[in-house]
Chain A
Amino acid sequence: KQEVTQIPAALSVPEGENLVLNCSFTDSAIYNLQWFRQDPGKGLTSLLLIQSSQREQTSGRLNASLDKSSGRSTLYIAASQPGDSATYLCAARGSRLTFGEGTQLTVNP
């Protein structure tokens, strides 16, 4: 059974700081790994999708990496802004899409 863990559970940083969110998964037999953003009371917005054959994906200030063999993925956010404040979820796709508990990010002005 796939288990996905995200560390830290919560993170508070000053504006402008670069930060890394961590995601680990127990079963490396995945098709892809997807990072989502969730604002309070909202649904999930897909940020980045990394296929199992890829090492990383970039979108603007976001960069996600994937190391299947070690069961880890990281989401790097450059030059953080208050608008980045949200919960970030990673999900590993094997036979089903399994989510971690999320990292609640607060970027202070």
Chain B
Amino acid sequence: EAGVAQSPRYKIIEKRQSVAFWCNPISGHATLYWYQQILGQGPKLLIQFQNNGVVDDSQLPKDRFSAERLKGVDSTLKIQPAKLEDSAVYLCASSLGPLGGAEAFFGQGTRLTVV
């Protein structure tokens, strides 16, 4: 079974530039999550999709971050414009369902450095 795929693995941009990350979840997984992990901290949920609808985006900085999941499969997360404090690893995860006993599987992450 293929895992959660993310690209790119690394990205370095200057502040005020824009950047986009891509995620392909495990086939058949209806729920997709984007997490932000700042160095030395645990991951923090940015947004959760159920199929192509948003379930939870309460911690997404909507003035600069946006995400979409077209056709309920792949997803992209965009930051525009980036700030220095956005430097972090962005993790994508998927699970069969949003609640209950569904196990979450994570991708390798995209490490973003904003200079």
A97 contacts B104, CB within 8 Å? Answer: yes
- The residue on B at minimum CB distance from A31 is B100
Q: Would A89 and B101 count as touching, CB distance under 8 A?
A: no
**A95: B residues at CB distance < 8 A:** 56, 99
Contact of A46 with B44 in the complex, beta carbons under 8 Å = no
Instruction: Report yes or no: B48 in contact with A96, Cβ–Cβ below 8 A.
Output: yes
- On whether the beta carbons of A101 and B41 are closer than 8 Å, the reply is yes
Q: What CA separation (Å) do A4 and B56 show in the bound complex?
A: 19
Total interface residues on A, CB under 8 Å, equals: 24
Chain A hits for B108, CB < 8 A = 42-43
Give every chain B residue within 8 A of A46 (Cβ-Cβ).
103-106
Q: Which range holds the interface residue count of chain B? A: 20 to 34
**Distance A85 CA – B6 CA, assembled complex (angstroms):** 25
| Main DSSP-derived SS at the A contact region | strand
Interface residue? A41 (CB, 8 A): yes
- Cβ A49 vs Cβ B103 within 8 A: yes
**Which residues of A are found within 8 Å of B44, using beta-carbon distances?**
99
A71 contacts B by Cβ under 8 Å: no
Answer yes or no: B107 CB below 8 A from chain A CBs: yes
CB contacts under 8 Å to A, within B77-112, are 91, 93, 99-101, 103-109, 111
Contact between chains at B101 and A32 (CB < 8 Å): yes
> Is A31 a contact partner of B99 (Cβ separation < 8 A)?
yes
Name B residues whose Cβ lies closer than 8 Å to a Cβ of A: 4, 6, 33, 35, 40-45, 48, 56, 91, 93, 99-101, 103-109, 111
Instruction: Enumerate chain A interface residues (CB-CB to B < 8 A).
Output: 4, 31-32, 34, 36, 41-46, 49, 51, 89, 91, 93, 95-102
